[in-house]
Chain A
Amino acid sequence: MMDEHWSDGDAPLHPASAPDFLPADQRRALQLHRLRSVVKRAYEHVDLFRARMKERGLEPDAVRTLDDLRHVPFTVKTDLRDTYPFGLFASPLSDIVRLHASSGTTGKPIVVAYTRRDMSVWTGVMARTFAACGVRAGDIVQNAYGYGLFTGGLGAHYGLEAIGATVIPISGGNSERQIMLMKDFGSTVICSTPSYFLHLIEQAAEMGVTLADLPLRAGIFGAEPWTEEMRQRIEANSGIRAYDIYGLSEIIGPGVASECSAQCGLHVFEDHFLPEIVDPETLEPLPDGETGELVLTTLSKEAMPMIRYRTRDITRLMPEPCACGRTIRRMVRVAARSDDMMIIRGVNVFPSQIEEALLRVEGTLPHYQIVLTREHDLDQMEVQVEVTPDVFSDQVKTMQNLRKKIEHTLASALGIRAKVSLVEPLSLQRSQGKAKRVLDKR
């Protein structure tokens, strides 16, 4: 019944989505207008940006067309650490209504700030995200993104309220309670990291709850790279539709890009966040359709404008029109971050390649961990894979064959040999937020 009323195809367009359908020429005019003013704002208020512009002999009015952006200097993550805590702010603290910070696994966290207007932009793009994924007033949404300094929880929360959905601000963790409330409250939508939802699927099974029998129909998943194979696994095992969303704290938090009913690429809310794809080596911009590093410029941010921020995420822009009718461009799902790249015996390996390979082996669930060691000056990669009821047998040769099959699949996908270890079910650590797949002991 929910489907009849709320599927993205049949339902009247949500008003929040209007900017998604702007004709391309109008959108570009708006982008240029906003780009010129944000460059000017950053130049006037952010010392680091002004110094870098001057180094290149550039004045803000050097940006006359969207294409002129290619001459403007980049911003990188270490710039946020080096200016910790407030060095990149373009607004006085009296105008700033919110601060968030990254968890900061290495050294100082990175801090991001929002003015009242930034908050309204953020709420707007999150409302557009949920509208694109078919979430509507009447939906009961279990928001299992972490609340607090992390941008995920509160970012999603404000967007959901704006769209009129009923929010359960449950935050991450306490999986038993997640399943209990999902059942008792009749949640129709869940927001979490994809790896945490996989954990919830297991938790539900342990509690004797069949997710497919509950009203839950959609999951809004982000905050970590995942793969198409993982989507299919989630959808098959829980009976919901799994949507990919994209964002990063440095730019706004969640709300930079979102899938739509077509589930084929993520629409970038490019009236606020201008995407470029650059060659990660030469840093030269690449044309639409070519794969490279995503660089984003915040077109309307007041508190902390980010000009040409290097996201380290590898993707490409899809200029072709989308089945949903949105005119804003799509980007291919991010399956790889240049930061996550492992160099093993000189070969570049992404965790996502390992995940794809594992999911190709029949019955192997995506619970795995990569352990990197160095023996006799040589890098060794071990992939630990949990044994599941589907693949377990009482016969040694069946288990040996499974191990060989995984090793073979990995070797042909990666181009290097990895040692595969079968480990006991539920022995690998489950994440409450972003999954930690790689243990580098080198």
Chain B
Amino acid sequence: MATIKQLSLFLENKPGHLKAICGVLQEAEINIVTLSIADTEQFGILRMIIPDWEQARRVLEDKGFVVHANDVVAVEVDDKPGGMAQILNLLDQDQLNVEYAYAFTFRRRNSAVLIFRFNDTDEAVRTLTAAGRPLLAQADLLQALERE
């Protein structure tokens, strides 16, 4: 299935906690492609897209972090006004609810990649594929990044 892996970590709302995670990744020379942080009054959830997510998970778990991996949908669109709106229109037509979303760009390809978390990932993949929208798989992500 054309999805990519996202890693999530639990964050306490305390100074230095995000730094500790980045420090572990830095030491292992692991690059973060993009990230988002959900914050509540009490705690945060850090979500990251990392090409070699398995190695990242291993080094973080070795340091005692609880790491959750799950599938997210990555849609590549033109990096211009209306790129995201088109996709949201498609989702709206099929009444697919987005849990959360974030993005990053491929500079060379002048494109943006939208990361979506759906409650029903399979259904979302079917809808977007049927509409002819190319979805990135983990291998596509690796390939595109190598050319950046």
Where the two chains meet, the residues of A that have a C-beta atom closer than 8 Å to any C-beta of B are 206, 387-389, 392-396, 399-400, 403, 421-427
Contact with A along B1-20 (1 / 0, CB 8 A): 00000101011100001000
Q: Which of B10-55 contact A (CB under 8 A)?
A: 10-12, 17, 38, 40, 42-43, 45, 47
Cα A427 to Cα B16 with chains together (Å): 13
Of A399, A403, A426, which one neighbours B45 at CB under 8 angstroms?
Answer: A399
B7 to chain A, nearest CB (A): 9
B68, A424: Cβ atoms under 8 Å?
no
Cβ–Cβ < 8 Å partners of B64 in chain A: 206, 425-426
B66, A423: Cβ atoms under 8 Å?
no
Smallest Cβ-Cβ distance to B17: which chain A residue: A424
Q: A422-B10, A425-B10 are in contact. Are A396 and B38 (CB under 8 A)?
A: yes
Cβ–Cβ < 8 Å partners of A206 in chain B: 64
Of A388, A403, A424, which one neighbours B42 at CB under 8 angstroms?
Answer: A403
Cα A389 to Cα B9 with chains together (Å): 10
B12, A423: Cβ atoms under 8 Å?
yes
**A-B contacts, 15 listed (Cβ < 8 Å):** A206-B64, A387-B66, A389-B66, A392-B66, A392-B68, A393-B8, A393-B68, A394-B45, A399-B10, A399-B43, A421-B42, A421-B43, A424-B65, A425-B65, A427-B12
* New contact pairs (19) apart from A396-B40, A422-B10, A422-B43, CB-CB < 8 Å: A387-B10, A392-B66, A393-B8, A394-B68, A394-B70, A394-B117, A395-B45, A395-B100, A395-B117, A399-B10, A399-B40, A400-B40, A403-B42, A421-B42, A421-B43, A422-B12, A424-B12, A425-B10, A425-B64
Where the two chains meet, the residues of B that have a C-beta atom closer than 8 Å to any C-beta of A are 6, 8, 10-12, 17, 38, 40, 42-43, 45, 47, 64-68, 70, 99-100, 117
Cβ–Cβ < 8 Å partners of A387 in chain B: 10, 66
Cα A388 to Cα B45 with chains together (Å): 14
B10, A392: Cβ atoms under 8 Å?
yes
Cα A393 to Cα B17 with chains together (Å): 18
B116 to chain A, nearest CB (A): 12
B62 to chain A, nearest CB (A): 8
Cβ–Cβ < 8 Å partners of B66 in chain A: 387-389, 392, 424-425
Cβ–Cβ < 8 Å partners of A426 in chain B: 64
A199 to chain B, nearest CB (A): 13
Cβ–Cβ < 8 Å partners of A424 in chain B: 10-12, 17, 65-66
Cβ–Cβ < 8 Å partners of B47 in chain A: 394
Smallest Cβ-Cβ distance to B7: which chain A residue: A394
Cα A353 to Cα B65 with chains together (Å): 29
* Nearest 7 CB-CB pairings of A with B: A394-B8, A426-B64, A425-B66, A387-B10, A396-B38, A392-B66, A389-B66
B9 to chain A, nearest CB (A): 8
Cα A42 to Cα B141 with chains together (Å): 82
Most buried by B among A206, A388, A403, A424: A424
Cα A387 to Cα B11 with chains together (Å): 10
Cβ–Cβ < 8 Å partners of A399 in chain B: 10, 40, 43, 45
Smallest Cβ-Cβ distance to B8: which chain A residue: A394
B136 to chain A, nearest CB (A): 18
B42, A422: Cβ atoms under 8 Å?
yes
Cβ–Cβ < 8 Å partners of B99 in chain A: 395
Cα A426 to Cα B67 with chains together (Å): 13
Cα A392 to Cα B11 with chains together (Å): 11
Cβ–Cβ < 8 Å partners of A388 in chain B: 66
Cα A425 to Cα B43 with chains together (Å): 13
Cα A421 to Cα B14 with chains together (Å): 13
Cβ–Cβ < 8 Å partners of A389 in chain B: 66-68
A422 to chain B, nearest CB (A): 5
A392, B8: Cβ atoms under 8 Å?
yes
Cβ–Cβ < 8 Å partners of B67 in chain A: 389
A396, B10: Cβ atoms under 8 Å?
no
A396, B45: Cβ atoms under 8 Å?
yes
B72 to chain A, nearest CB (A): 9
Smallest Cβ-Cβ distance to A389: which chain B residue: B66
B6, A394: Cβ atoms under 8 Å?
yes
Cβ–Cβ < 8 Å partners of B10 in chain A: 387, 392, 399, 422, 424-425
Cα A206 to Cα B65 with chains together (Å): 12
Cβ–Cβ < 8 Å partners of B100 in chain A: 395
Cβ–Cβ < 8 Å partners of B12 in chain A: 422-424, 427
Smallest Cβ-Cβ distance to A394: which chain B residue: B8
Cα A382 to Cα B22 with chains together (Å): 30
Cα A388 to Cα B68 with chains together (Å): 10
B137 to chain A, nearest CB (A): 19
A371 to chain B, nearest CB (A): 14
Cα A388 to Cα B61 with chains together (Å): 12
Cβ–Cβ < 8 Å partners of B70 in chain A: 394
Cα A426 to Cα B43 with chains together (Å): 16
Cβ–Cβ < 8 Å partners of B45 in chain A: 394-396, 399
B143 to chain A, nearest CB (A): 25
Cβ–Cβ < 8 Å partners of A400 in chain B: 40
A389 to chain B, nearest CB (A): 5
Cβ–Cβ < 8 Å partners of B65 in chain A: 424-425
